[in-house]
């Protein structure tokens, strides 16, 4: 991404243009995922990363539910910045919390995400004037207590590995308001089998139905916090 005086000017113009209208080239230049940058998959699949149209649909669906938005797994802010700007452009007062170690993964993984960058994400938030987003850097275990007393309407879990999924589910599910949604980016993604294991274990234990959504042949899974369910322990 080219960040500098020109980007600051561009950012101050782009922030007023609905994200759905941004040409694909702008999405690529800014590193902000937008609807026109999404190429439909040739057939239904649970791999391929996040589809921003689906994230926007869930933000709309949960707009009337009290509570903030969170993303667990920010990497370079492609989806976090898009969600923050989308909410701002729609006049929402919701706060967006972003969690990432910005260290990526060691060892034998399909992608190590070691090109994560807190500085880059903060620069992007700054050029688009986004004060509704708050990044909490660090490993989830240490970072989540910052929002211990918050409640949430939508959480995007995009952190790939089993143990991280377990931490997200244990922490966020009890903090979802009724009707709130937790969307899983990697459920049934063959590259990250630990995600499905973690969700199946948690949902099986608590009797939570796993639902499915599809946009552009991107198939993702999610759970909804029902009013009847007791907080998970
Ligand atoms: C798939 S990337 C996120 C992609 C981003 N949402 C996007 O669409 O561009 C996964 C990120 O999760 C982060 N992550 C995974 N487990 C974590 C943990 N336990 N604590 C902090 N960050 C974690 C990694 O550092 C990595 O940047």
Ligand 1 centroid – CA 188 distance (Å): 17
Residue with CA at minimum distance from ligand 1 atom 22: 100
Residue 14 lies in a domain: no
User: With bands split at pLDDT 50, 70 and 90, how would you rate the model's confidence at 107?
Assistant: confident
Percent of the chain clearing pLDDT 70 (strictly above): 95
Residue 1 lies in a domain: no
Exposed e or buried b for every residue in 156-189, given b needs 16+ CB within 10 A?
bbbbbbbebbbbbbebbbebbbebbbbbbbbbbb
**Number of domain units in the chain:** 1
Alpha carbons 154 and 183: distance in angstroms, whole number: 8
Ligand 1 centroid – CA 228 distance (Å): 31
Residue from 73, 77, 164, 186 whose mutation best tests the ligand 1 pocket (most atoms within 8 A of CB):
73
Q: Which atom from ligand 1 is nearest to the alpha carbon of 104?
A: 25
Residue 20 lies in a domain: no
User: With bands split at pLDDT 50, 70 and 90, how would you rate the model's confidence at 194?
Assistant: very high
What mean pLDDT comes out for the span 34-62?
96
Tell me, what's the pLDDT at 5?
A: 54
Contact 150, 56 (CB under 8 A): no
* pLDDT tens digits, one per residue of 196-215: 999 999 999 999 999 999 99
User: With bands split at pLDDT 50, 70 and 90, how would you rate the model's confidence at 8?
Assistant: confident
Vertex 32 angle, CA 28 and 38, to 5°: 70
Output the six-digit token pair for 73.
């797994």
pTM over 0.85: yes
CA distances to 37, 178, 193 from 65, in Å: 29, 8, 31
Range of the domain at 167: 41-224
Residue 231 lies in a domain: no
* pLDDT tens digits, one per residue of 134-167: 999 999 999 999 999 999 999 999 999 999 999 9
Tell me, what's the pLDDT at 2?
A: 52
Residue 133 lies in a domain: yes
Instruction: Find, among 226, 225, 218, the residue nearest to 57 by Cα.
Output: 218
C-alpha of 107 from chain center: 24
Query: Residue 192 is part of a domain; what is its CATH number?
Result: 3.40.50.150
Tell me, what's the pLDDT at 6?
A: 53
Tell me, what's the pLDDT at 230?
A: 58
**What is the CB < 6 Å shell around ligand 1?**
49-50, 73-75, 78-79, 100-101, 103-104, 113, 116, 139-140, 158-161, 164
- Which residues, in sequence order, are CB contacts of 178 under 8 Å at separation 6+? 65, 225, 226, 227
Ligand 1 centroid – CA 134 distance (Å): 16
CA distances to 31, 72, 96, 106 from 154, in Å: 22, 11, 9, 29
Tell me, what's the pLDDT at 221?
A: 98
Ligand 1 centroid – CA 12 distance (Å): 28
Tell me, what's the pLDDT at 50?
A: 97
Tell me phi and psi for residue 15, to 5 degrees.
Answer: -60, -20
Residue from 54, 69, 78, 100 whose mutation best tests the ligand 1 pocket (most atoms within 8 A of CB):
100
Residue 5 lies in a domain: no
Residue 23 lies in a domain: no
What mean pLDDT comes out for the span 67-94?
98
Alpha carbons 72 and 140: distance in angstroms, whole number: 8
Mean of the per-residue pLDDT values for the chain?
A: 94
Percent of the chain clearing pLDDT 90 (strictly above): 90
Alpha carbons 76 and 32: distance in angstroms, whole number: 9
Residue 33 lies in a domain: no
- Which residues, in sequence order, are CB contacts of 157 under 8 Å at separation 6+? 72, 73, 165, 168, 169, 172, 182, 183, 184, 185
Alpha carbons 131 and 154: distance in angstroms, whole number: 18
């Amino acid at each position: 991404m080219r960040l500098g005086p020109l980007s600051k000017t561009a950012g101050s113009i782009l922030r007023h243009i609905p994200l759905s209208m941004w040409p694909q080239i702008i999405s690529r230049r800014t590193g902000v995922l937008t609807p026109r940058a999404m190429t439909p998959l040739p057939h239904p699949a649970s791999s391929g990363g996040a589809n921003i149209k689906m994230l926007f649909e869930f933000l709309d669906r949960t707009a009337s539910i009290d509570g903030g938005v969170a993303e667990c797994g920010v990497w370079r802010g492609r989806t976090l910045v898009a969600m923050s700007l989308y909410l701002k452009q729609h006049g929402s007062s919701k706060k967006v919390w972003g969690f990432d170690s910005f260290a990526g993964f060691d060892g034998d993984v399909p992608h190590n995400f070691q090109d994560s960058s807190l500085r880059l994400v903060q620069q992007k938030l700054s050029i688009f004037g986004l004060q509704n987003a708050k990044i909490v850097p660090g490993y989830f275990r240490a970072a989540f207590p910052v929002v211990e007393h918050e409640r949430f309407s939508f959480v995007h879990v995009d952190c790939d590995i089993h143990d991280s999924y377990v931490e997200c589910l244990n922490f966020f599910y009890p903090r979802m308001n009724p009707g709130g949604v937790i969307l899983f980016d990697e459920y049934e993604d063959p590259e990250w089998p630990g995600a499905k294991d973690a969700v199946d274990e948690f949902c099986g234990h608590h009797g939570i139905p796993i639902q499915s959504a599809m946009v552009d042949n991107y198939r993702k899974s999610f759970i909804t916090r029902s009013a009847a369910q007791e907080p998970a322990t």
